[in-house]
Amino acid sequence: MRSLILILVCLIFVILATGCTQNLSPALSGGQGIQKGSADTGNKLESFPAPPDDITVSAQVNDKEQYDKSIHVFFSGGKGQKMVKNSWVMIQRSDGTVERFDLPAKVGSEIIITGTDGEDLVRAYAEYYDGKTYQIAEKTLRLRQRL
């Protein structure tokens, strides 16, 4: 009986330690592809503090692609990766629309967002299991001028 309880406790610990407690849909499992988000007109992006150094994570926001205005965002991970409950990206486009996209909290996860011809603001956020939300990336993007 004691060994059965010990095995169950170990199994639960392994599941929690590996972060396999959430079911992600195939579209959000870290594969490439354009993610659909929820549009909201008139809202502004919120600003949150950066995470403390001992639990930091980050996201990489690449420049706009010249040919299709797409913006690639990657979850980069960090010291506090196992403490992240979920993460997302918000874009405020030059036309005033604000849209939110889920970004799987797994190193190398990528989403592709469609930008505009103008100046777009992209921010990435992470919510930790303790309920706190931090801003993990911010970038203002413009199309590069061709010479």
Q: Give the domain ranges of the chain.
A: 2-141
Both tokens assigned to 81:
């990766």
The 3-class SS string of 115-143 reads CCCCCEEEEEEEEECCCCEEEEEEEEECC
pLDDT at residue 52, as a whole number: 94
Cβ atoms of 103 and 59 within 8 Å: the answer is: yes
Question: Is CATH 2.60.40.10 the classification given to domain 2-141?
Answer: yes
59-100 confidence digits (pLDDT tens): 999 999 989 999 999 999 999 999 999 999 999 999 999 999
106-133 confidence digits (pLDDT tens): 999 999 999 999 999 999 999 999 999 9
Q: Is the pTM of this model over 0.85?
A: no
Q: Where are the alpha helices (DSSP H) in the chain?
A: 2-18
